Structure 1
Amino acid sequence: MLTEQQFREEIKVFVEKMRENKLNWQLKENGKYARESHLETLSDGRNVSADVHILYNSTYQVPTLWFNYFENNGTPIPFDTVVRDILKISESEESDSSIRQRISHYEHPILGVLYYNIHPCNTSNVMKELKTEKGYLISWLSIYGQQINLKMPDFSKLQ
């Protein structure tokens, strides 16, 4: 588990490290969350905007990834397209352990619009298995970020 104070301290350091590595992360709402945006290319060649946020979940006391993908006109990309073209999960891969089963579609706690998130209910157990005391946020993102194909630098250099 991670306290909100620890989260705020780590998110600030994380954003600084990402910016040093020329990645487009920013602190938002006085350090309440971090945001990154980039373009993704769908299988039909269209470019769509990706918007990724890291927020603190006070119920589970862990960080949570919130993300969405948008057409150039602002229309959200349908979930089936996100799964097939961005997350690249084939129907044969779908199971109870698939990332698809852990993605929820809820109102973003700060923006108030629908976003996807990776449900945080198992995060604490996953992090206990890693046995990390230092660099909680980077360790967490090395697992959860790759599940949504988030582009990140070599994590071993960030510890």
Structure 2
Amino acid sequence: MCTMTWTEFLDECNEFLKISEKLNDTWSLYKKNENEGNSFLIHKQKITININQPPSDTANQSNEAKSETANQSNEPKSETANQLNNETVNEDDNSEIIEMECHNKESTNSIAIETANEDDTSEIIEMEYHIVYSISYQVPVLYFRAYKSDGSFLELQDSWRLFRSYDENETIRTRADMLSILTQMEHPVLFKPYFALHPCRTSDILAQTGSSSNRVLTFISLMGPYLQIYLNNKYGLLL
């Protein structure tokens, strides 16, 4: 287990900000008041993802439908078979997912997390990230909001496409898996709905990194890439 106090979190955030300023990066610190937990790091950037094609829900059912259609092509076509063959079966694009897992058993439907490629129609999304201290878990938590070009919020399932996985061979997670990884929560400082990476395993993950002189930096370096935050390598050199 690797936890930190509020004072340690704030000190390491300030140290992180000094490095950010030296590198002309865009991180900042929001301070609501002096109360515990009421300050957090902010980072904004624009990314491009494909959000026009909805995530494939119940991927297993889709695979079964494709198999059934293929089998029918070798059989005499009845009226029902012709109707089935006239239906389009959505095929998932190359997908990427996050590997973190927490305890959640809300559903067993499978989904595919899709990312933009050259053949897809993509949209620019404005991301706002908050690194917030969790008083209950005593670890940093990554909250974020994603805005479309028209100013509307990205929906939960669309936000799953933001994930970048370290395992390119693994493309499908169950809906319960994704809900346990990324969930909508009330922001503990702003009291508004935000998406967040669930902190249930953050302490264990930080513990596996060994001794770190700045756990906030380590947290962002480890968790940030899943949501397309990529720190300059010089952050580690300037500690």
- The question of a shared fold, defined as TM-score above 0.5 by the shorter chain, is answered with yes
The equivalences for 1:17-32 within 5 A come to: 17-29=19-31, 32=39
2:17 pairs with 15, 18, 29, which one? 15
Which residue in 1 is equivalent to 2:163?
Answer: 87
Report the number of matched residues.
Answer: 158
Counterpart amino acid of 2:231?
M
Identity, % of aligned positions: 20
Structure 2: gaps spanning 5 or more residues:
33-37, 51-120
Q: CA deviation at 1:99?
A: 6.4
More moved, 57-66 vs 75-84: 75-84
Which residue in 1 is equivalent to 2:207?
Answer: 128
Name the structure where strand makes up a greater proportion of residues: 1
2:49 aligned with 1:47: no
DSSP-derived class of the 1:109 partner = coil
User: Distance in 1 between the 2:238 and 2:144 partners?
Assistant: 23
Which residue in 2 is equivalent to 1:77?
Answer: 154
- Note the alpha carbon deviations across 1:14-69, whole angstroms, 9 max, x for none: 12212322221111016810101111112323212100000100111111100110
> Would the alpha carbon gap of residues 93 and 156 (structure 1) be closer, same or farther in structure 2, given more than 3 Å must change?
farther
Q: Is the radius of gyration larger for structure 1 or structure 2?
A: 2
Structure 1: gaps spanning 5 or more residues:
none
DSSP-derived class of the 2:171 partner = helix
> Would the alpha carbon gap of residues 157 and 93 (structure 1) be closer, same or farther in structure 2, given more than 3 Å must change?
farther
Q: RMSD of the TM alignment (CA)?
A: 2.5
Higher RCO (Cα < 8 Å, 6 or more apart): 2
DSSP-derived class of the 1:76 partner = coil
Which residue in 2 is equivalent to 1:147?
Answer: 226
**C-alpha contact 2:184 2:194 (8 A) present in aligned 1:** yes
More moved, 140-149 vs 98-107: 98-107
